[in-house]
Amino acid sequence: MSTTAVERPVPRGATEVRRGRVVGLSALLASLAFAAALSLAVGARALSPAEVWHGLFAEADPDQRLTEIRLIVQTVRVPRTVLAVVAGIALGVGGALIQGYTRNPIADTGLLGVNTGASFAVVTVIAVFGFTNPFQYVWFAFVGAALAGVLVFGLASIGRGAGNPLTLALAGQGITVFLMAMTTAVALTDQKSLNGLRFWNAGSVAGVGFDVIWPVTGFIGVGLLLALSTLPALNLLNLGEDVARGLGVNIVLSRAVGIVSITLLAGAATAACGPIAFLGLMVAHVARYLTGPDYRWLVPYAGLLGAVVLLVCDIVGRLVVRPGELEPGVVVALIGAPFFAVLVWRGKFKSA
């Protein structure tokens, strides 16, 4: 071995890269656990770890104060923590997938019309049926999101140029803006739905019970499984369509699976929390910066990052304007955007 070779930066071997990624994934899991614990303890009433533990696992207690703590933890803190984790994972994975499938680095899950489809359904059912409770319109929101996603994808895949990333993105924008206009038209003519819309629009994980969370988690689980199954094909698709076809990828099938998975993930998360913009876009870029372009690593990273960011933003939102709350959808943008802008400015991201 010559001395000059030692002085050059040694290229890292495959095992070393993999070890780094596993360490990163473990660190993300640890921060997720920490953030979740924090989310149980922090709020209008701060609880000690012992109290949280008691609230989670103790049976009914004669002590009035402890019963109250149990009530806070089990009916308020646990549901919103679970929802933040589930929705964060869904939005993060959805964001990474849609950037992969459209090969557009500024693609967001909103691009498929998912958010506006849900918004339109919400204002429509409020205007028509007079629903006031989120429990009633969350299902319509999900149906609206799914229909919009299917419509956009269906329109973009008519004819030969099917699934051209640019066509998909533009068709998504066309339908999105159309639905947004219809939403505004309804909201402007009906004050009740305008009122409902502005709260749902802010994006919140509070006030949703397990009767909504479990089904939403089910949809998201199916979406995640589909997402995992399509990751190897997605890697090949990003080498270019011809290469992927040559390597035996069924392009139409894998693209359809991808879109269904994105719709399930983003649609369910949006229905339960309202549109949380920017989260998926941001964590997908950060994940790509951390892992490189391999989607088998990028997607899990993006999911965990999404969950951590959403949890932290929800916690911050509970703390800054006490005793009121700032919706996590608002906090995500206020905290995430400057952070993201710094990373962009330092030239960390490449165009897909």
Partner 1 sequence: MSKTDMKPTAAAAPSLAPGVRIGQVSFVWRPWLVLVSLVLAAGAFLVFCLSIAVGDFPIGLSRVVATLFGQGEQVDEFVVMDLRMPRALAGLIVGIALGVSGAITQSVARNPLASPDILGITSGASAVAVFLVTVSGGAAAALVGSVGLSAAALMGGLGTGLLVYFLAWRRGIDGFRLILIGISVSAVMQAITTWLLVSADIRDVARAQAWLVGSLDGRSWDEVRVAFWCSLVLVVVVSAAAFPFKPMHLGDDVAAGLGVRYTRVRAVLLLCAVLLAAVAVSAAGPVPFVALVAPQVAMRLARCPTPPMVASGLLGALLLIGSDLIARTALPVTLPVGVVTAAIGGPFLVYLLVRANLRRS
Exactly one of 4, 13, 323, 345 binds partner 1 (CB under 8 A); which one? 345
C-alpha 217/C-alpha 100 separation (Å) is 23
C-alpha 195/C-alpha 281 separation (Å) is 28
Nearest Cα residue to 204 out of 45, 31, 118, 83: 83
Amino acid residing at 106: I
Least Cβ distance, residue 333 to partner 1 (angstroms): 3
- Position 344 contacts partner 1 (CB under 8 A): yes
Number of residues that bind partner 1 (CB under 8 A): 61
Q: Which residue's CB is nearer to partner 1, number 300 or number 329?
A: 329
Look-up of token digits 């998360």: 269
Exactly one of 189, 211, 293, 322 binds partner 1 (CB under 8 A); which one? 189
C-alpha 254/C-alpha 259 separation (Å) is 9
Interface pattern 314-333 for partner 1 (x via CB under 8 A): ------------xx-xxxxx
- Position 222 contacts partner 1 (CB under 8 A): no
C-alpha 128/C-alpha 134 separation (Å) is 15
Q: Which residue's CB is nearer to partner 1, number 198 or number 296?
A: 198
C-alpha 23/C-alpha 9 separation (Å) is 22
Exactly one of 268, 281, 284, 298 binds partner 1 (CB under 8 A); which one? 281
Instruction: Let me know: does 268 contact 324? Beta carbons within 8 Å.
Output: no
Look-up of token digits 């299902």: 139
Instruction: Let me know: does 288 contact 298? Beta carbons within 8 Å.
Output: yes
C-alpha 108/C-alpha 119 separation (Å) is 16
Least Cβ distance, residue 215 to partner 1 (angstroms): 27
Query: Of 54-62, 74-82, 154-162, 286-294, which segment contacts partner 1 by CB under 8 A?
Result: 154-162
Exactly one of 73, 122, 127, 187 binds partner 1 (CB under 8 A); which one? 187
Instruction: Let me know: does 284 contact 101? Beta carbons within 8 Å.
Output: no
Instruction: Let me know: does 352 contact 338? Beta carbons within 8 Å.
Output: no
- Position 338 contacts partner 1 (CB under 8 A): yes
Q: Restricting to residues 31-90, name those near partner 1 by CB under 8 A.
A: none
Least Cβ distance, residue 177 to partner 1 (angstroms): 5
Between CA 272 and CA 281, with CA 276 as vertex, the angle to 5 degrees is 130
- Position 190 contacts partner 1 (CB under 8 A): no
3-state secondary structure of 190: coil
- Position 238 contacts partner 1 (CB under 8 A): no
- Position 184 contacts partner 1 (CB under 8 A): yes
Which tokens belong to 66? 């402890």
- Position 149 contacts partner 1 (CB under 8 A): no
Interacting residues with partner 1 (CB under 8 A):
104-106, 155-156, 158-162, 164, 166-167, 169-171, 173-178, 180-182, 184-185, 187-189, 191, 194-195, 198-199, 201-203, 277-278, 281-282, 285, 326-327, 329-334, 336-338, 340-341, 344-345, 347, 349, 351
